[in-house]
Structure 1
């Protein structure tokens, strides 16, 4: 059966990974400046930069190492713990605003950039009539990731973005993929999934019956699953996805 939709991993597939040696001090300053008006309104007198450092540390300790069942812990308890350490609290709406401000720093400020082949490939796939979705373990809300897509200069072609943040489940768990398929109204055999990770992209896509496409770049681990296609450029996708699906 012909492919009707394509799902993408984001980090390492459409854009570069976060540099391991990135200097976080300028990012913390941007986040603290964005938080200051909210803190003033809420009557928080503590240093927003100190708050950001503490929150990032708490979130890091919560998310790493990842859970063995691939569940995604929420950031909200982390926020509540850090606020409590200052003797404060806030309601969920203000907590969401605070977390949005922290996560909204443009990726380019962090040294993350879109791959040069991403924009033309996305535009061509959308123009061909395919539905486009994303399934990501990037722990940010979907609306923040949609804004990051624009910051990176990528076209606004996504019909759905499924993030581990909102679902509470990470790839390779099948729930993120099934959620995206349901949102797009397609079956697994009508869908291709494109990613750079054997564990988080290729294996679960194959298990669900999707056409798994590997973006080469990482070493191949022993016993790795075999994708339907391997590509070096996303622009190779257009002719590939015009062909038959896995049940042809």
Structure 2
């Protein structure tokens, strides 16, 4: 049965856009520029990122803390982590992004049918550069920069802020995002329906593609209402004909 909603909220990072340079590419460059022997990889960074996400409003501060913690947990000087984090921040170009498949066409198409909001963790300067980079700076009726306008996801606050601005009910709104920890958990806490659009590295080990993933899979927690391979599949899920 298609989703039945009156409004749609979207996450930004890894949902609507991805960086041209991967985390792995940036880590390799950062270790090289810091003249530090590599001591962790992308999956390790993501694990620590998810662990400390709720403790920080600022992305650079969160990243620095993650790198320091990784170093400390390995018995290394946390200063090594700080140095790598400085090089990482210097190398990261927030406008150097590309849209995920079907974006921005699907977003604009859905925006003609529904009120739409962006609910993203990150400040307006950083996230605004990404929106410019993928041509979506004027696409949303409401934009909430969580951590700046409200508490960061997975708090319910940024979703509640978007609902008030859109003038819609939580149970008649769906949030689309790639993170179980921030998007699905936060949307559920605020009473919204949720669509999970996982990146490949987020999938359970026994699943090769999101379109073959059941929301009731035992490794998915919290559980979304729907799992899709990407935003490009959302129109079909909403019953909108091409």
TM-score w.r.t. length of structure 2:
0.60
Q: Does 1:188 align with 2:170?
A: yes
Per-residue displacement from partner, 1:138-164 (whole Å, max 9, x unpaired)?
x222x6534431222347211122113
Q: Which residue is 2:234 aligned to?
A: 237
Mapped pair 1:20 → 2:23: yes
Q: For each residue in 1:44-66, what CA deviation from the matched residue of structure 2 results, as whole angstroms up to 9, or x when unmatched? A: xxxxxxxxxxxxxxxxxxxx878
8 A contact 2:101–2:231 mirrored in 1: no
Alignment partner for residue 110 of structure 2, among 125, 128, 148? 125
User: Which residue is equivalent to 1:52?
Assistant: none
Aligned residue pairs total 179
Paired residue for 2:158, among 169, 176, 179?
176
Paired with 1:20 and 1:13, the residues of 2 have a C-alpha distance of 16
Matching residue of 1:41: none
2:86 counterpart residue number: none
Shift of 1:198: 1.1
Matches within 5 A, 1:1-150: 2-17=4-19, 19-22=22-25, 70=54, 72-73=56-57, 106-108=94-96, 112-128=97-113, 130-137=114-121, 139-141=122-124, 145-150=127-132
Give the SS at the match of 1:134: strand
Shift in Å, 1:133: 0.9
1:50 matched residue in structure 2: none
* 1:4-41 CA-partner distances (Å, limit 9, x unpaired): 211111111001156224459x9xxxxxxxxxxxxxxx
Larger radius of gyration: 1
- From the superposition, tell whether residues 231 and 184 of structure 1 become closer, same or farther in structure 2 (CA, over 3 Å): same
The higher relative CO (CA closer than 8 Å, separation ≥ 6) is in 1
Q: After alignment, is 159-168 or 172-181 more displaced?
A: 159-168
Contact 2:12 2:118 in 1 (8 A): yes
TM-score normalised by L of structure 1: 0.59
Secondary structure of 1:167's match? coil
Q: Unaligned stretches of 5+ in structure 2?
A: 30-47, 62-89, 205-217
Post-superposition CA distance 1:167-186 (Å, at most 9, x none): 35211111111111111111
Query: What is the RMSD of the two structures over their aligned residues, measured on CA atoms?
Result: 3.7
Q: Displacement of 1:215 after TM fit? A: 0.5
Where does the alignment leave 5 or more consecutive residues of structure 1 unmatched? Answer: 27-63, 78-101, 244-248
Note the C-alpha offset of 1:192. 0.6
